[in-house]
A and B are shown apart, each in its own frame.
Chain A
Amino acid sequence: MNDAISRRNLLKVVGAAGAAAAVPGATVAAPQHIAQAPAPAPAQGAAPPVSAPPQTDALFFFNDQEARFVEAAVERLIPADPEWPGAAWAGVLYFIDHQLAGAYGSGAKMYLKGPWVPDAPPQQGYQLRHTPAELYRIGIEETRQHCRQAYNGREFWDLGETVMDEVLKGLESAQIQLPSLPAPVFFETLLANTVEGFLADPAYGGNRDMVSWRMIGFPGAYAQYVDLVELYDLPYTRPPISFANSAARHAHIAGHNHDHNQ
């Protein structure tokens, strides 16, 4: 009973602070590759213009403090390295923020009727009463509380890489206990959304400049490989294309017709 009431109060308090806010300056340097020459031109035809879709650097869900937490956490989950930027530079904070502000965050396609059995075996899947948006609100708040208690009042994002990793591992393994959530449920949601944001089409706010697609060699939304699929070991170097790139759409259709007329 007490538990339920405190959880409800927590939601009310934290929920009240959920206005859009500017992000505090993220101190993530753009890695080298951004300044390097673009990927080699494709073997055939002109490369469609490659440009990152406009970034929406505005927050619709997280407050300043939550944003700092998420920005720091996603960068530990997918860190920058000398070759490729990490999740922070890629805009995963904005991806998660926009997801939580929309249908996904509100649990639009989730069955959200009780009764609730939060300690169910993992085979039965997610059984908390919280929408993803509520899960983040509570998970961030309680993880920050844990950090302040364990590290002399310091916030998660001030702990340095090694300690931040220890905190994340503690959530993942349930060695850290949060008052009103199973910590691994929060961690797994954050990890899954981080991977989604890093690898999804940049139209959703993450994967800025299609950085993850360049890293792995995924060519993106424009796809038609009927004439290439049997060329084993083909080095396929066409730069990736987002579905939001309408200039590429025209180039693609033009190329399409050309091929068929030959």
Chain B
Amino acid sequence: MAVRMKPVDVALVGGGLTAAILGRELAEAGYTVVSLERGQMRDTVPDFQSPTMHDELKYDVRYALMQDPSVQTLTFRNFVGQQALPMRQLGSFLPGEGVGGGAVHWNGQYWRFQPEWFRLRSWVNEKYGQNHLGPEVTIQDWGVNYDELEPFYTFADKVLGIGGATGNLKGQIQVGGNPFEGPRSEPYPNPPMKKSHSGHLFGQAAASLGYKPFPVPSANVTRPYRNPYGAELKPCMYCGFCERFGCEHFAKASPQVCILPSAMANKNFELRTRAYVTRIEYNRQAKVATGVTYVDAQGREVFQPANMVVLCAFAHHNPILMLQSGIGEPYNPETRTGTVGRNYTYQTMTGINVFYEGEKRINPFMGAGALGTAIDEFNNGSFDHSGLGFIGGGYVAAYQTSGRPIYHHPVPEGTPRWGLEWKRAVARHYNSTVSISFHGSSVPHPNNYIGLDRTYTDAFGQPLGMLTFDFPHNDRLMARHITGKVVEIAKAMGGKQISVGWLDDHYSIVPYQTTHNSGGTIMGTDPKTSVVNRYLQSWDAHNLWVMGASVFPQNAGYNPTATVAALTYWAADAMIKQYLNNPRPLVQA
């Protein structure tokens, strides 16, 4: 029989960025909150300290900060009808585990979505007509627009200490920033990062072709900074150990550095670690959640009663928890009905290497997660899609994130994969190569979704989630079109040769691509095609809310974290001002 805990007002499933934000804001508003984190406690001191943090094998290759697939993983297949098989080790994406979640091991590349993205279906119909896209591109409007989110984007910028060059201040285009961004009500709280050699070479070539390069907006803090919660952040040291690592310098924004100190100081907030939530308890008659059940560090099943439950787990974990708990109608790809698991999307990435063959020293190890120079002429709202047959786009950037050699040892196409020639190529190109990446959007497709597997189970005996995904035709066209443009820039960079990584194969679960998984519990205006309403409140249980990128109806050509943070503050505002004092559905179905 399950251990029963003292009831709380709000149970948060997870201990990452969205749980930290809600924990802080709801505790401050006077509600008792418990954040249930499956992993362990960890903090800048002592867990992220140099030099032991600078261990590429442990953190980069063996994934010390990531989810343990032996406890829980997914099964995966490319298409409906194929047998799904378990992801036996991590690869394509890396969900975090432990306090802070993915916001500990992220790079800190911090982009807002363009305004039109939030009403993409309406925008496409208005601009290109109803017939621009086939029926298999199931994009839809979010139910919230950029202007409504803007104040929350701005507050999150301040909490995380974002640095950047403002491109659009209240509609006025600013020199040096991104001219294609939505209007900002205030400039960035901090100045942009320095410019790396990679960024310098890319920016020069891009400008010579008429593009407008600018520094990537960054959550690697650029000067001593005190955030609205009183947290002190320190400047980035450009050590080159960001992605997959914790930051020893208090310089990369994370829940530990920016938010949890304030939350933990409030007696209404409790962070409970080693609490692996296995289901949401749901009263089907009353259509309300009654709390959550988790397995604690002793292996005991524990019931945490709560007046309100918020899913703050990683993107694909939120829909899986709903499916395992029997809440909402599971999406069915045969009938294309149901909502939970629908519109799973990812990110469409290509890359180009420019080889200078010893003519330049790039010093790639002088890096930082968000150290990059970008152009945004190819994002969705920046160019005309007429006659192209697709929708979407993305930014192009030369990042100089790291020179960690197990992963960073680029060699030109045609180099043997091993042997003397390979070794000489590694020595020759390591310090003389610039990598450019195209960071493209991802549209939903009726065959791409998250369900439950019928064969494989996790360590608790529950069915594993099942991911069905391949790159949609729309995104292949988009990636080909834009990668072609990037090749022109790469050729103008003065290297000896380039290698292009086209998107020309099926999606594979094996090589790392990005941890920008999204969709599955999407937001929208219609309960037939969305799981949560515009406030991120479930259509099926008014006291169940869902945070994170799983609510994106389609994924933009930008990193997701800024929009995740803005949506969380937007939802927190609705909870405090509209919901908690009078619990009910905030939108009538």
Contact = CB atoms under 8 A, between A and B. Distances in A.
A76 B55 CA distance: 27
Contacts of A78: 418-419, 422-423
A216 B405 contact: yes
A219 B366 CA distance: 10
Interface string A141-173: 000000000000000000000000100100010
A67 B391 CA distance: 55
B419 A165 contact: yes
Interface string A116-144: 01001111111100000000000000000
Interface stretch (B225-233, B235-243, B540-548): B235-243
B51 A222 contact: yes
Contact of B409 (A76, A123, A216, A222): A216
A229 B196 contact: yes
Interface of A is mostly: loop
A225 B238 contact: yes
Interface residues of A, number: 65
B92 to A, nearest CB: 9
Given A112-B88, A217-B431, A225-B366, A79 B419 contact: yes
Interface stretch (B12-20, B39-47, B71-79, B312-320): B71-79
Contacts of B90: 109
A125 B553 CA distance: 28
Contact of A110 (B70, B365, B406): B70
A50 interface: no
**Which of A76, A109, A112 has its CB near the most chain B CB atoms (within 10 A)?**
A109
A111 B418 contact: no
A222 B240 CA distance: 10
Contact of B418 (A77, A199, A241): A77
Nearest to B361: A233
A232 B361 CA distance: 7
Interface in B487-542: 506-510
Interface string B51-88: 11011110001110000111001001110000101111
Given A104-B62, A201-B55, A112 B70 contact: yes
A5 interface: no
A168 B419 CA distance: 11
Given A109-B89, A113-B456, A223 B406 contact: no
Contact of A199 (B52, B406, B420, B506): B406
A216 B456 contact: no
Nearest to B195: A230
| Candidate in B61, B68, B85, B240 with the most chain A CB atoms within 10 angstroms | B85
Contacts of B241: 223
A61 interface: no
Given A111-B70, A235-B361, 20 more contacts: A109-B89, A110-B70, A110-B89, A113-B457, A117-B85, A121-B78, A125-B88, A125-B510, A127-B88, A195-B406, A199-B56, A200-B56, A200-B61, A216-B427, A224-B237, A226-B194, A229-B196, A232-B197, A233-B197, A236-B363
Interface of A: 76-79, 81, 84, 86, 103-104, 107-113, 115, 117, 120-127, 165, 168, 172, 191, 194-196, 199-201, 203-204, 212-213, 215-226, 228-230, 232-236, 241, 243, 248-249, 252
Q: Lowest 6 CB-CB distances: which A-B pairs, in order? A: A225-B366, A243-B51, A216-B430, A221-B54, A223-B239, A123-B508
Interface of B: 50-52, 54-57, 61-63, 68-70, 73, 76-78, 83, 85-91, 194-197, 200, 235-241, 360-361, 363, 365-367, 371, 400, 403-406, 409, 417-420, 422-424, 426-427, 430-431, 455-457, 506-510
